[in-house]
Amino acid sequence: MQPDSQSVPRSPSTGLWASPGRHHVGLHHILSAQLKGSPVVELNVGGELYTTTMGTLRKLPGTKLAEMFSSSAKPCMDAEGRFFIDRPGTYFGPILDYLRSERLPTHHIPEVYREAQFYAIKPLVKLLEDTPQIFGEQVARKQFLLRVPGYSENLELMVRLARAEAMAARRSPVLVCAVRTEEDAAHCADALRILEAEKRSVVKFGPWKAAPQVKDLLDCVKMDITAQGYQVYYEPYSGRTLRAKYFSYFYTFVFIWW
């Protein structure tokens, strides 16, 4: 009797599914034969099929792929007898291309970078970190945002405020105050007190010690909220509560629900 597929465990370290019992005996003999050379092997990576060699998979010692297909590993098979890896298959092709010929990907760089990190392919990770896409995100933008106090917490607060205002509404406005310097923060302190007295919720960003301007910060906020799946835009504050001299510090982010 074949075991229930729902009871088959998955290894948390490798992302490989354990296979039904009838494959284990055959797999032992297949793997033993393959480890003697570099024969052709078939892979099922998240439903995408690939053909390569054991030598390619084990090319870089210390990587997770080399670990998965080492002589002491217990790799798993799909229903057709192919090695199975429970990862996104779309981006495994560039991983194989690098292992085969050290060719760098030209598309889907962030996704391939994530997979290279998962498989612990350190040379590829380092090369991808030098590409404009990853360098700009990891070194430039993220390093700037690390200098904005409470940035991540403020994003979460904005989303909570927007969702709280979403009942029977098409749009939810969230008021944001962005101050780049300590001087700017002192200048708009009275405005914040006025809004607080009127029980208006305001999400305050800054001040920060970095070159980017307020618009750069606002663009980052929009980018990161959009990346969470929300449709949002921002516009300068134009309410009646504050005097015009404060307008350059306040912006309204509008969440669109439908």
Strand, coil or helix: what is 30? helix
At residue 243, the pLDDT reads 86
Q: What is the mean pLDDT of residues 176-183?
A: 96
Count the neighbouring beta carbons within 10 Å of the beta carbon of residue 209: 11
User: Residue 232's domain spans which residues?
Assistant: 148-256
Domain count, the chain: 2
With pLDDT > 70 as the criterion, what percentage of the chain qualifies? Answer: 85
The answer to whether residues 78 and 174 belong to one domain is no
- The string of pLDDT tens digits covering residues 13-46 is 444 444 444 344 444 445 554 555 558 899 999 9
Cis peptide bond prior to 207, omega within 30° of 0: yes
pLDDT digits (tens, 9 = 90+) for 61-73: 999 999 988 877 7
Residue 226 and residue 182 share a domain: yes
Helix (H, G, I), strand (E, B) or coil at 232: strand
Confidence class of residue 244 from pLDDT cuts 50, 70 and 90?
Answer: confident
Tell whether 176 and 230 lie within a shared domain. yes
Final residue of a domain: which of 130, 162, 179? Answer: 130
pTM flag (> 0.85) = no
Same domain assignment for residues 123 and 158: no
Give the residues across from 232 on adjacent strands.
255
What's the average model confidence in pLDDT over 218-246? 93
Under 8 Å between Cβ of 84 and 19: yes
Asked if pLDDT for residue 127 goes beyond 60, the answer is yes
Distance CA 201, CA 205 (A): 13
Q: Tell me which of 24 and 129 has the higher pLDDT.
A: 129
- 153 shares its domain with 243: yes
- Contacts of 53-61 with CB under 8 Å at 24 or more apart are 56/96, 56/99, 56/100, 57/99, 59/99, 60/99, 60/121, 60/123
Percent of the chain scoring above 90 in pLDDT: 71
110 pLDDT higher than 50? yes
| Per-residue pLDDT at 136 | 86
Span 91-113, average pLDDT: 95
What pLDDT is recorded for position 240? 83
Cα separation, 13 vs 59, whole angstroms? 20
Which two tokens mark 176?
Answer: 């944001």
Mean pLDDT for the stretch of residues 109-125: 96
Amino acid identity for residue 10 in this structure:
R
Average pLDDT score, the chain: 86
**Residue 85 belongs to a domain:** yes
